[in-house]
Structure 1
């Protein structure tokens, strides 16, 4: 694969998504120098990092985050609005970081893959994207305020980006999905700046191609990176490359680009409110999701049994 072929579709242009110039705002990437972004901007490892000396002393402080342990994960005790505000603070701080929308599947993966413990430690914060995590926190007597889904966050953060003129990059998904998602988001939020999009097959990239991709991300001046790469591949990639994509705040959003583009249907609101979005997805994608959900259910059942036995002991 030639690098020019892999990355020729990275920057959104009006022609690429079937619009004429001026119908909605798409900007070409700016260099770091044009954006006045320091090349040696420090990398923050998590939300509790304190500012240290010099330039960082003049940046806004990040308040401590109340945490609830759920299936061994340090989940931030955030409402939806508090999550959006936390992301905004991080963008304004101008330091590269990522946060995680954790569901039951991710909790199970963390039990199996010890590398994810370091990924979680380095994350700015984790939020509960899944009602089983919220229910479990209530069962343990340390209630999380609500579910905070990546699928809903994308819309809210896109609206914030349009208001603040933050530059957004759509990363991942199947070919063409990011184009359609960009069109939908820009149609909903006038003023939204989509500074680029890419749908790379990360498993097939050579080191040189991956480096070129990271340079493209950094050169775009993106401040908010939506990564639709799947679990746990997305979280591992973000952790491994944090800071190499520029100064953006990044989040792995799973199937959210497909929901926005309309290539996958999201559960109706009533299913979501009842905590049954997983059931709707199982009905619509049984072959792909049945093995995964069966393993997740087994993990949850084991956790419940262990908890009951510990309480009786």
Structure 2
């Protein structure tokens, strides 16, 4: 189900592609069968704050082909805007399924994992792709370096899967750059910490935390310094923006 409704006042929520659980398998099949460049990203509470504070970040997210709902905060935002939030499609759960389907249907695909740093980059890529060979680059290069790598190492008429794991909003900006310059069957996925999760650098919250929508609290407990601004300061800010945009 795609929101295109003037009754949704929040411009960020209006851009989301909200899917029910039953629609997810068909969506995965559709984007994996693309014959042209397609980009996919996830909007969570942190992304919402970044988008709200910076018009250029909003534009980078708006240029993605698809934007999926990630997390309980955006579920609240959808309900406040009187639209069905659909399924919670966080990248940590969806991206491995997406990769498995893409590589099953395109065994000759060229794969690029761009983001994080060694040794986690190699470990995470190997785990996520089940040891399929791929091109790697850490997440601390200039934007054009990623385009240069894909153009030099990639083949225009071959399926290409590009996982960007360099964090928001850099990965969305790089995704837009790649979309502008590449052609052919290319699937670009903004994956955030997916490679760090796959490498075991960052652990998933226990199932109970996830079922209660409290994975953020578990992560905050593990990395209080790094995530203090994102959650302790960011969550109240998120609700301020939410109410402002709705009313």
Same fold (TM over 0.5): yes
1:179-205: CA deviations, max 9, x gaps?
A: 212332344xxxx744322225224x7
Name the Cα RMSD after superposition: 2.7
Aligned to 2:128: 185
Report how far residue 83 of structure 1 moved: 4.2
Write out aligned runs for 1:49-60 (5 A): none
C-alpha separation in 2, matches of 1:115 and 1:96: 21
* Structure-2 separation of matches of 1:80 and 1:302: 30
- Specify which of 136, 140, 156 is matched with residue 197 of structure 1: 136
- Distance verdict in 2 for CA 1:182–1:222, change over 3 Å: farther
CA shift digits 1:38-84 (9 cap, x unpaired): xxxxxxxxxxxxxxxxxxxxxxxxxx834575852211121356345
Query: Aligned partners of 1:165, 1:271: CA distance in 2, in Å?
Result: 35
Q: How many corresponding residue pairs? A: 239
Contact 2:41–2:172 under 8 Å retained in 1: yes
Structure 1's 200 and 127: CA in aligned 2 closer, same or farther, altered over 3 A?
closer
Unaligned residue ranges in structure 2 (runs of 5+): none
| More divergent stretch after superposition (167-176 vs 149-158) | 167-176
Relative to structure 1, the CA distance from residue 142 to residue 195 in structure 2 (aligned partners, 3 Å threshold; closer, same or farther) is same
Deviates more, 1:167-176 or 1:277-286: 167-176
- TM-score, length basis structure 2: 0.84
Aligned to 2:150: 214
Q: Is the 8 A contact 2:164 2:190 kept in 1?
A: yes
Shift of 1:100: 1.3
CA 1:71–1:260 in 2, change beyond 3 Å: closer, same or farther? farther
Question: What corresponds to 1:158 in structure 2?
Answer: 99
**Greater gyration radius:** 1
4+ runs deviating over 6 angstroms = none
Residue from 158, 161, 181 that aligns with 1:244 = 181
Mapped contact 2:10–2:81 kept (Cα < 8 A): no
Residue of structure 1 in register with 2:207 after alignment: 269
Larger fraction in helix = 2
Mark the CA change 1:219 to 1:173 in structure 2 (over 3 Å): closer, same or farther.
Answer: farther
- In structure 2, which of residues 48, 51, 68 is the aligned counterpart of residue 110 of structure 1? 51
- Larger mean CA deviation between 255-264 and 289-298 belongs to 289-298
One of 33, 37, 45 as aligned partner of 1:96? 37
TM value normalised by structure 1: 0.67
